[in-house]
């Protein structure tokens, strides 16, 4: 029986790998025999120098959904698999959270709370000018998900009970998604546009001034993918003009510098790239890695293999 040496950090999440074949030997530091690497945040901090200590490396299983910054450092011939699927729950919950927050104007009410102001005018209880724009719900809304992969499907599953119409766009047309060339037709229909596409040369600044001009007045843009998918300068202009609103977990540049105009733009909610950050995401990622190790040991095809920086997950 051929021995397979797997490098995985020896933290509490290692138990989530589950039972492994007898042929698999787990190590917690680089050795020349390692051929399968579970790349978690701690080991990611050692890239690319780590690879020089792993001459027998054949597979990298990342715990991260996005691997575009990793791929350029990977030695030739080494297979990379992303952590796609491990972040479905946490990222989709972030998207639902900010969508509801924006629709219900919660950021505005948080500001009123800081001021100690009780404003019931949006509800129609009191008369006069309100400090808060009209509150809306999401039933009957059309949500366009650009990047209709694993996380996109998780978002759709959570939206449908709200009575929402979901439209999907993927890299290529499928039975459940249109191709990107349909965006000029789809964007004007959407009350909410969710960006989940991978970052490539083709998708950088996908959301530009033209894209933003196609959005409905009052529509919400949600970006939970990569900041460079959106032209930040064009977004700042659109926000200041008051035509759209936005919720961003990622920005360009990132981190967003102090004093950047996006911080003070109206109608925007910003979180610091924490959409996937829940206490259990790493456990899900190691569970996926365990499945991949078992597949590898059995000679079965791996999931989420990256081609040209994009994980083939469907």
Q: Which domains, ranges and CATH numbers included, belong to the chain?
A: 4-86+279-311 (3.40.50.720), 88-270 (3.40.50.720)
Tens-place pLDDT, residues 21-55: 999 999 999 999 999 999 999 999 999 999 999 99
Q: Pairing between strand 310-311 and 306-307?
A: antiparallel
Per-residue pLDDT for 185 more than 50? yes
Buried/exposed 152-182: b ≥16 CB within 10 Å, e otherwise: bbbbbebbeeeebebbbbbbeeeeebbebee
Tens-place pLDDT, residues 98-136: 999 999 999 999 999 999 998 877 665 545 566 688 889
CB 131 within 8 A of CB 112: yes
The pLDDT-based confidence of 307 (bands split at 50, 70, 90) is low
Give dist(CA 95, CA 223) in Å, integer.
9
Q: Which residue has the tokens 């949500």?
A: 143
The CB density around residue 257, as the number of other CB atoms within 10 Å, is: 10
**What is the CA angle 66-24-308, rounded to 5?**
25
Per-residue pLDDT for 309 more than 70? no
Q: Which residue has the higher pLDDT, 192 or 278?
A: 192
Give dist(CA 56, CA 30) in Å, integer.
11
What is residue 103's predicted lDDT score, i.e. its pLDDT? 95
Catalytic residue among 33, 68, 93, 254: 254
Catalytic residue among 273, 294, 295, 303: 273
The 165-169 sheet, strands edge to edge: 165-169, 142-146, 192-195, 220-223, 245-248, 268-270
Q: What is the mean pLDDT of residues 234-243?
A: 97
Is-catalytic flag, 260?
no
Catalytic residue among 87, 153, 226, 284: 226
Give dist(CA 1, CA 170) in Å, integer.
42
Q: What is the mean pLDDT of residues 175-189?
A: 97
Q: Provide φ and ψ at 245, rounded to 5°.
A: -125, 165
**Could you give the 3-state DSSP secondary structure of residue 237?**
helix
45: Cβ contacts below 8 Å, ≥ 6 apart: none
What is residue 144's predicted lDDT score, i.e. its pLDDT? 98
What is residue 312's predicted lDDT score, i.e. its pLDDT? 41
* Longest CA–CA separation in the chain, Å: 79
The 24-27 sheet, strands edge to edge: 24-27, 4-7, 34-39, 59-62, 79-81
pTM, to two decimals: 0.88
What is residue 308's predicted lDDT score, i.e. its pLDDT? 47
Say if residue 285 is exposed, middle or buried (CB neighbours under 10 Å; 0-12, 13-18, 19+): buried
What is residue 129's predicted lDDT score, i.e. its pLDDT? 64
Per-residue pLDDT for 183 more than 70? yes
Q: Can you read off the two tokens belonging to residue 3?
A: 């021995």
What is residue 313's predicted lDDT score, i.e. its pLDDT? 38
Q: Which residues lie across from 81 on neighbouring strands?
A: 61, 305
31: Cβ contacts below 8 Å, ≥ 6 apart: 5, 7, 53
What is residue 134's predicted lDDT score, i.e. its pLDDT? 84
Q: Which residue has the tokens 């964007």?
A: 187
Is-catalytic flag, 201?
no
What is residue 119's predicted lDDT score, i.e. its pLDDT? 81
| Closest of 280, 244, 218, 302 to residue 91, by C-alpha | 280
Is-catalytic flag, 226?
yes
Tens-place pLDDT, residues 127-166: 556 668 888 999 999 999 999 999 999 999 999 999 999 9
Side-chain half-sphere CA neighbours of 278 within 13 A:
16
Q: Pairing between strand 79-81 and 34-39?
A: unpaired
């Amino acid at each position: 029986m051929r021995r397979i040496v797997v490098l995985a950090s020896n933290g509490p999440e290692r138990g989530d790998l589950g039972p492994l074949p007898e042929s698999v030997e787990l190590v917690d530091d680089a050795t020349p025999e390692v051929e399968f690497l579970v790349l978690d945040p701690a080991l990611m901090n050692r890239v690319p120098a780590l690879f020089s200590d792993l001459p027998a490396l054949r597979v990298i299983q990342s715990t991260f959904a996005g691997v575009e910054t990793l791929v350029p450092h990977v030695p030739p011939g080494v297979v990379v698999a992303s952590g796609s699927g491990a972040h479905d729950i946490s990222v989709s919950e972030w998207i639902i959270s900010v969508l509801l927050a924006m629709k219900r104007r919660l950021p505005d009410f948080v500001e009123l709370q800081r001021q100690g102001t009780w404003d019931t005018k949006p509800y129609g209880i009191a008369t006069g000018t309100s400090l808060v724009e009209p509150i809306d719900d999401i039933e009957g809304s059309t949500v366009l998900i650009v990047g209709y992969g694993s996380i996109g499907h998780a978002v759709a599953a959570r939206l449908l009970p709200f009575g929402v119409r979901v439209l999907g766009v993927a890299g290529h047309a499928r039975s459940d998604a249109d191709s990107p060339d349909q965006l000029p037709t789809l964007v004007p229909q959407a009350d909410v546009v969710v960006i989940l596409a991978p970052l490539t040369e083709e998708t950088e600044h996908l959301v530009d001034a033209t894209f933003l001009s196609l959005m409905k007045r009052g529509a919400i843009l949600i970006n939970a993918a990569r900041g460079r998918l959106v032209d930040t300068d064009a977004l700042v202009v659109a926000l200041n003009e008051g035509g759209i609103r936005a919720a961003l977990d990622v920005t360009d540049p990132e981190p967003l510098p102090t004093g950047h105009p996006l911080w003070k733009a109206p109608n925007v909610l910003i979180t610091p790239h924490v959409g996937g950050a829940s206490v259990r995401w790493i456990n899900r990622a190691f569970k996926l890695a365990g499945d991949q190790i078992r597949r590898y040991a059995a000679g079965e095809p791996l999931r989420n293999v990256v081609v040209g920086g994009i994980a083939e997950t469907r």
